[in-house]
């Protein structure tokens, strides 16, 4: 029976494809699309019945997936939580604070039509089929299907990452559920207008709930520290239990007293187990987490402290993480000429000309930047250089440059009022606005800006010397050269186009509509290109250098153009080597003739990701320098899974809602505090309080230091195991009196040793070598081959097919319980358990042999010597010497007279002296 493959969950939404009447019929509600205020909605009794019938749906419970077994699981979890309440209290409080921001996203009140009347009800009481009214300033109380709207716009940025408010209404032409124009989603903010909609999703079934569910479905892999300590605990627990059973039998045979044998077995068990170790590890991690908080790194999961020090691969965003997200205009290409936007530059490159306000297309680009934009000044009563701009960083950079050059920037919107607009979205990748700007053939002008490839595709002419001329192939070739030149410098590039709308087709009073579309979308005039630079953050280059020195592979995952991403990567030293294309260009060789072993850098376009084979992924991750460009959040999750399947310990940075599955799946998810969404912060194990990538380097060093100190601490903690166990063994085997009791063992473990071991929390690094060592569990071709072989053997030992060893995403498949039990019967499985692990682990055989055998026996010899010296040289209060030799002690213990008990008879030592007391 092959291992079960994990089902991939997707968003369950199809209402956006339904006509309004069909949607109303599905949810059994009464509507009037022409006059929504006259809609009757549900009756109160229908709402109550819906609550009863759809209780599981509303609360997000699946009665099929959550049978009675879940109840027992819950009882067990509660029992465990109660037992560990004191240890977990601080951790739970931190989680509650993190959840507070997430819960604030959920609106508390809503306006709903029931029995034909508009009522205010708590959002928690909404049911499927309710008709709700949402207006500007409200948070959408559930997922709704819009039946009527007036200038209704919502802010989807927390959900989809789209910076611009999105227009919503009763019509839709989008296939993507998240971009459907007839749906508004729970927790999104209405920023303009008003709308009526049918409730189609409540509770955990909303899009927000489903995304959170996807996050929960991505099980975080156990941290290396957790795995290693669990293995140690399992080993020491097995030894302790077996020792207790064996010596219980010996004690029973020797003494015939079951109570004595039982007490003895308990003593052996207690002596073997380092009771203070869990508390010691937790406290050391807590102290380290506090130090990291002082470095602007907030640790939510204490195990993440050590994980950060163990990562082998860090996947990071570009904008806002590696760069400042502060766009500045750098170049313009218009009229087939390239201009510099640096007004003070003196030594310009030979390809660039000084900025010329009267250059062909310059003024048009400035006007488009100012009018086809959502960026605005917060105030107009101060000089321009003192004003703050609200809006997207890219638009803000263009708007500020235009404001510096246009004298009438504050009056421009009034002078040329906007009559129609389609904001930028991830499907179109352009922003269009139509303004009342007169020209020779009419009074309306269409402006557009967006992705260069998309804009060029819908243009048939190009602006040159003030005239629109037919676009020829040489114009397109010049466009490509200029585009690659700008993007090659690491700049973000936008294209601009316009069209003078003839009054014969588009009169001044025309009402433009998205559906049915009555605006031109082809035949535009290409105006030019503009590039903007988002400078790298201070310290990023040095931080990447330190990570590289520490053997950590830094990988950029961005939505930007590959050339832009590569150029930024080279600016910050993330990419130093040549890619295959660049190497071929430099050497004049054909790309096909260049072996992969010659290349150490690669840039992957997001469009290729879904088509990559296992061999392709192996080749990508074999490179030292990797950039993924034009990617989506879905791609980021796929990249994380693929890297983990090769044995990488992966860290991921992210800030959006859609980043949360990747953050959860990563070994260490790192969210941004300033720019991060509440959902991403909840999914992450660590939060950068200052959004500064350089802070992660400090965290890596702290993580490596805590690993070294934890290793020392564990070795120190277990050194007293042997001197605690052997006295119990000698008590039965020799026998001699027990040198130490169970209570004394607990006092040593939880008292003296606990506080002594805590001193390792403040142990400084012995030198600066920590950040010059490779990761403690490095990834190499040999380790990858070994890992894959082990997975195949595990599946074969479990009775499965070797071809099913890996899932579609390269991750190992999950084995059933019966398969796991069958695997335990394989000798090959147990042989692998005792193989020497790759890299350095926290509890290794060398450390244990030193702690248990060498130091442990030295401590035992010292403590046993002290015991015998006291028994021989010790004195009673009256000055009488004990005078007991080891042989006397053994004879007294073997005697039925119980000489060591109170009231025992006098004992005559082997030397002939009487021991009266």
pLDDT, greater one: 861 or 447: 447
- For residue 881, being part of any structural domain is answered with yes
The predicted pLDDT at position 158 comes to 62
The reply to whether 319 and 419 lie within a common domain is: no
The reply to whether 863 and 816 lie within a common domain is: no
pTM value is 0.70
Which of 479, 509, 533 is the C-terminal boundary of a domain? Answer: 533
**How many domains is the chain partitioned into structurally?**
5
DSSP codes joined into one string, 65-113: TS-HHHHHHHHHHHHHHHHTHHHHHHHHHHHHHHHHHHHTTS-SEEEEE
46-70: per-residue pLDDT in tens?
A: 777 766 665 444 444 444 444 443 3
Q: Are strands 686-688 and 189-201 parallel, antiparallel or unpaired?
A: unpaired
Query: Is 80 exceeded by the pLDDT of residue 465?
Result: yes
Q: Considering 317, 655, 794, 797, which one is annotated as catalytic?
A: 317
Please give the average per-residue pLDDT across 242-259, as a whole number: 84
The reply to whether 200 and 113 lie within a common domain is: yes
Residue 187: give the domain boundaries: 15-217
The predicted pLDDT at position 811 comes to 57
The predicted pLDDT at position 78 comes to 47
Query: Is 50 exceeded by the pLDDT of residue 727?
Result: yes
Q: Which residues contact 166 (CB under 8 A, 6 or more apart)?
A: 153, 154, 155, 156, 179, 181, 423, 425
Token pair of 522 as six digits: 């082809």
Please give the average per-residue pLDDT across 502-511, as a whole number: 92
DSSP codes joined into one string, 140-156: P-SEEEEEEEEEEEEE-
Confidence of residue 214 (pLDDT cuts 50, 70, 90): low
Highest mean pLDDT among 436-450, 688-702, 737-751: 436-450
The reply to whether 621 and 499 lie within a common domain is: no
DSSP codes joined into one string, 282-310: HHHHHHHHHHHHHTTEEESSTHHHHHHHH
Q: Name the packing angle between helices 85-103 and 68-83 (round to 10°).
A: 120
- For residue 634, being part of any structural domain is answered with yes
The reply to whether 487 and 362 lie within a common domain is: yes
Q: Which residues contact 736 (CB under 8 A, 6 or more apart)?
A: 730, 886, 889, 890, 893
User: Residue 317 catalytic?
Assistant: yes
Rounded Cα distance between 62 and 67, Å, is 9
Query: Is 80 exceeded by the pLDDT of residue 762?
Result: yes
The predicted pLDDT at position 63 comes to 43
pLDDT, greater one: 300 or 581: 581
Query: Is 90 exceeded by the pLDDT of residue 22?
Result: no
The predicted pLDDT at position 76 comes to 36
The reply to whether 522 and 569 lie within a common domain is: no
Question: Backbone phi, then psi, for 804, in 5-degree steps?
Answer: -95, 15
Confidence of residue 269 (pLDDT cuts 50, 70, 90): confident
Which of 838, 873, 889 is the C-terminal boundary of a domain? Answer: 838
Token pair of 675 as six digits: 């720019």
The reply to whether 149 and 178 lie within a common domain is: yes
Q: How many residues does the chain have?
A: 917
- For residue 5, being part of any structural domain is answered with no
The reply to whether 72 and 187 lie within a common domain is: yes
Greatest extent of the chain over all pairs of C-alpha atoms, in Å: 132
H-state helical runs in 189-337: 207-217, 224-255, 258-272, 277-294, 303-310
The reply to whether 348 and 416 lie within a common domain is: yes
The reply to whether 68 and 208 lie within a common domain is: yes
Confidence of residue 146 (pLDDT cuts 50, 70, 90): very high
The predicted pLDDT at position 910 comes to 76
pLDDT, greater one: 283 or 641: 641
Query: Is 50 exceeded by the pLDDT of residue 866?
Result: yes
- For residue 259, being part of any structural domain is answered with no
330-348: per-residue pLDDT in tens?
A: 999 999 999 999 877 677 8
Mean predicted lDDT score pLDDT of the chain: 81
The reply to whether 317 and 397 lie within a common domain is: no
504: left (phi over 0), alpha (psi -120 to 50) or beta: alpha
797-852: per-residue pLDDT in tens?
A: 666 665 555 555 555 556 677 777 777 777 777 777 777 777 888 877 777 777 77
CATH code where residue 615 lies: 3.40.50.1000
The reply to whether 179 and 112 lie within a common domain is: yes
The predicted pLDDT at position 105 comes to 46
Confidence of residue 1 (pLDDT cuts 50, 70, 90): very low
Please give the average per-residue pLDDT across 214-233, as a whole number: 72
């Amino acid at each position: 029976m092959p291992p079960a493959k994990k089902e991939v969950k997707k968003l369950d939404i199809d209402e956006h494809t339904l006509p309004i009447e069909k949607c109303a019929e599905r949810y059994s509600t009464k509507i009037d699309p022409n006059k929504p205020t006259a809609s009757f909605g549900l009756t109160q009794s229908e709402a109550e019945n819906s609550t009863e019938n759809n209780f599981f749906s509303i609360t997000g419970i699946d009665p099929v997936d959550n049978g009675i077994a879940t109840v027992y699981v819950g009882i067990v979890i509660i029992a465990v939580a109660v037992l560990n309440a004191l240890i977990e209290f601080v951790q739970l409080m931190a989680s509650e604070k993190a959840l507070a921001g997430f819960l604030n996203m959920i609106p508390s009140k809503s306006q709903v039509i029931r029995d034909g009347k508009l009522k205010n009800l708590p959002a928690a009481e909404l049911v499927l089929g309710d008709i709700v009214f949402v207006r500007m300033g409200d948070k959408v109380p559930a997922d709704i299907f819009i039946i009527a709207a007036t200038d209704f716009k919502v802010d989807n940025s927390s959900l989809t990452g789209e910076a611009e408010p999105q227009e919503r209404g009763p019509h839709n032409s989008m296939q993507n559920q998240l971009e459907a124009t007839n749906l508004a989603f729970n927790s999104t903010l209405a920023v303009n207008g008003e709308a009526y909609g049918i409730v189609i999703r409540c509770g955990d079934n909303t899009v927000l709930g489903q995304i959170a569910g996807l996050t929960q479905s991505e099980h975080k892999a156990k941290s290396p520290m957790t795995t290693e300590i669990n293995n140690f605990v399992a080993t020491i627990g097995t030894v302790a239990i077996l020792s207790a059973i064996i010596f219980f039998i010996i004690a029973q045979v020797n003494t015939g007293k079951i109570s004595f044998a039982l007490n003895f077995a308990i003593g052996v068990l207690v002596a073997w187990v380092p009771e203070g170790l869990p508390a010691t590890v937790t406290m050391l991690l807590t102290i380290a987490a506090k130090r990291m908080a002082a470095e602007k790194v907030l640790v939510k999961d204490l195990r993440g402290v050590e994980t950060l020090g163990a990562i082998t691969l860090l996947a990071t965003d570009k904008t806002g993480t590696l760069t400042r997200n502060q766009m500045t205009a750098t170049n313009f290409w218009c009229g087939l000429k390239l201009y510099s936007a640096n007004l003070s530059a003196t030594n310009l490159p030979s390809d660039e000309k000084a900025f010329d306000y009267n250059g062909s297309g310059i003024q048009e680009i400035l006007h488009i930047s100012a009018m086809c934009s959502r960026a605005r000044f917060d105030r107009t009563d101060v000089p321009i250089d003192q004003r703050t701009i609200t809006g997207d960083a890219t638009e803000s950079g263009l708007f500020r440059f235009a404001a510096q050059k246009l004298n009438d920037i504050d009056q421009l919107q009034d002078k040329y009022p906007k009559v129609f607009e389609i904001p930028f979205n991830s499907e179109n990748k352009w922003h269009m606005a139509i303004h009342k700007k007169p020209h020779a053939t009419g009074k309306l002008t269409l402006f557009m800006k967006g992705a260069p490839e998309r804009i060029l595709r819908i243009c048939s002419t190009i602006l040159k010397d003030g005239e629109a001329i037919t676009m020829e192939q040489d114009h397109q070739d010049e466009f490509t050269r200029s585009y690659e030149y700008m993007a090659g410098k690491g700049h973000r590039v936008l294209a601009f186009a316009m069209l003078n709308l003839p009054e014969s087709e588009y009169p001044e009073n025309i009402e433009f509509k998205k559906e049915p579309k009555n605006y031109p979308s082809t035949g535009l005039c290409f105006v030019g290109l503009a590039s903007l630079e988002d400078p790298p953050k201070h310290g990023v280059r040095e931080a990447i250098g330190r990570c590289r020195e520490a053997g950590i592979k830094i990988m950029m995952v961005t939505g930007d153009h590959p050339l832009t991403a590569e150029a930024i990567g080279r600016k910050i030293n993330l990419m130093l080597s040549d890619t295959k294309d660049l190497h071929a260009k430099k050497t004049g060789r054909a790309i096909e003739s260049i072996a992969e072993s010659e290349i150490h850098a690669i840039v992957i376009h997001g469009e290729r990701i879904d088509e990559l084979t296992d061999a392709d992924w192996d080749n990508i991750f074999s490179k030292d320098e990797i950039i993924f460009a034009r990617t989506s959040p879905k791609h980021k999750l796929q990249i994380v899974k693929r890297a983990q399947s090769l044995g990488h310990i992966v860290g991921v940075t992210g800030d959006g809602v859609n980043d949360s599955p990747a953050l959860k799946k990563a070994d260490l998810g790192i969210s941004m505090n300033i720019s991060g969404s509440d959902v991403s912060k909840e999914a992450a194990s660590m939060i950068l309080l200052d959004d500064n990538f350089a802070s992660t380097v400090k965290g890596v060093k702290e993580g490596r230091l805590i690993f070294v100190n934890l290793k020392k601490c564990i070795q120190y903690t277990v050194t007293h195991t042997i001197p605690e166990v052997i006295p119990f063994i000698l008590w039965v085997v020799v026998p001699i009196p027990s040198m130490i009791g169970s209570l004394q063992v607990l006092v040593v473990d939880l008292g003296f040793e606990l506080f002594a071991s805590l001193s390792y929390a403040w142990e400084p690094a012995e030198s600066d070598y920590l950040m010059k060592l490779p990761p403690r569990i490095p990834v190499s071709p040999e380790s990858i081959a070994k890992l894959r072989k082990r997975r195949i053997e595990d599946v074969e030992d479990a009775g499965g097919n070797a071809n099913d060893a890996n899932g579609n995403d390269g991750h190992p498949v999950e084995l059933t319980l019966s398969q796991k039990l069958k695997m335990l019967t394989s000798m090959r499985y147990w042989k692998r358990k005792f193989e020497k692990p790759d890299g350095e682990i926290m509890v290794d055989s060398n450390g244990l042999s030193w702690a248990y055998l060498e130091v442990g026996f030295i401590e035992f010899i010292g403590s046993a010597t002290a015991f015998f010296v006291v028994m021989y040289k010790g004195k009673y209060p009256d000055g009488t010497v004990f005078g007991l030799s080891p042989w006397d002690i053994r004879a007294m213990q073997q005697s039925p007279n119980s000489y060591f008990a109170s009231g025992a008879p006098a004992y005559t030592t082997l030397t002939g002296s009487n021991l009266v007391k």
